[in-house]
Amino acid sequence: MSEAILAPSILAADFNILGDQIASVQRAGAKWLHIDVMDGAFVPNLSVGLPVIRSIRRRSDLFFDVHLMIEDPIRYIGDFAASGADGITFHVEAASDPERVIGEIRRCGKKAGISLKPATPLEAVLPYLDQVDMVLVMTVEPGFGAQALKRETLDKVRELRKIAAETGRDLRIEVDGGMSRETILDALHAGADVFVAGSAVFKDDIEANVRELCVMIGG
Ligand code: DX5
Ligand code: ZN
């Protein structure tokens, strides 16, 4: 397993002071920033898009971990790559040809991730393990922050980590949704090594939240 990474999700940030809050998580030692992109079609919510990523890119050198919760993502891979994404993760449920989407992310020179919803069986992403850098296991239903962890999804993390170990793959496994002081160690022990946290980070003392969660995962 690679070094554990905390990826604060800006979905929970105060967009009135987004730049300052990103600077806070960076000061506290976060290396990644999780950027949730929602289109109101694949998920019943809208969030941020290309202009926001372009703006925050100018001010931050964090690894931009862009999570596309959008229909037919192939249409926008080039745009997100050009806007400043470092890693682009799409949903297997949203792509008619996942291999083509992965190839496009690679052509743009970015890290490639594939994601699956809680109800989607792990088998849906297994054919792509040799082509991606990361699998994002949704630990809540995508579309909203501040939901409770769906504990049964950690079984997929355990199974995926076992497959990766048995086949000698250096695969990052990201968990996304419901990560907090109370749940993050369960995800770590299940085999995750990237931890998205929105509502557990962007509240009260942001820097203290980041430092505490990073210490917990040993990141
Ligand atoms: C949900 C998003 C998650 C969400 C996490 O669709 O993909 O990244 O922002 O929020 P918390 O950490 O509050 O559950
Ligand atoms: Zn996300």
pLDDT of residue 18: 98
Judge whether residue 2 has pLDDT over 90.
no
Ligand 2 centroid–CA 49 distance in Å is 13
Closest CA to 54 of 24, 31, 78, 85: 85
The per-residue pLDDT for 69 is 98
Considering 20, 176, 186, 205, which one is annotated as catalytic? 176
For atom 9 of ligand 1, the residue with the nearest CA is 145
- Stretch 168-173: mean pLDDT, rounded? 96
Q: Is the pLDDT of residue 41 over 90?
A: yes
CA dihedral (208, 47, 100, 98) positive or negative: positive
**CATH, residue 148:** 3.20.20.70
Average pLDDT estimate for 195-208: 98
**Number of domains, the chain:** 1
Q: How far apart are CA 217 and CA 194, in angstroms?
A: 9
Residue 1 has pLDDT above 80, yes or no: no
Say which of 20, 36, 65, 193 is annotated catalytic. 36
Q: List the structure tokens of 141.
A: 């239903």
Residues with CB under 5 A from ligand 2 (ion): 36, 67, 176
pLDDT at 32: 98
CA angle 38-44-50, nearest 5°?
15
Residue 10's closest CA among 206, 217, 213?
A: 206
pLDDT in tens, 46-97: 999 999 999 999 999 999 999 999 999 999 999 999 999 999 999 999 999 9
- Asked whether the beta carbons of 158 and 146 are under 8 A apart, the reply is no
**Listed range (2-6, 26-30, 42-46) with the worst mean pLDDT:** 2-6
Can you give the pLDDT at residue 122?
98
pLDDT (tens digit, 9 = 90+) per residue, 110-154?
999 999 999 999 999 999 999 999 999 999 999 999 999 999 999
Q: According to the model, what pLDDT value does residue 219 have? A: 79
**Structural domain harbouring 193:** 5-217
Decide if pLDDT at 34 tops 80: yes
Q: What is the pLDDT of residue 137?
A: 99
CA–CA distance, 47 with 5 (Å, rounded to integer): 23
Q: CB under 8 Å to 4, separation ≥6 — which residues?
A: 188, 193, 194, 195, 217, 218, 219
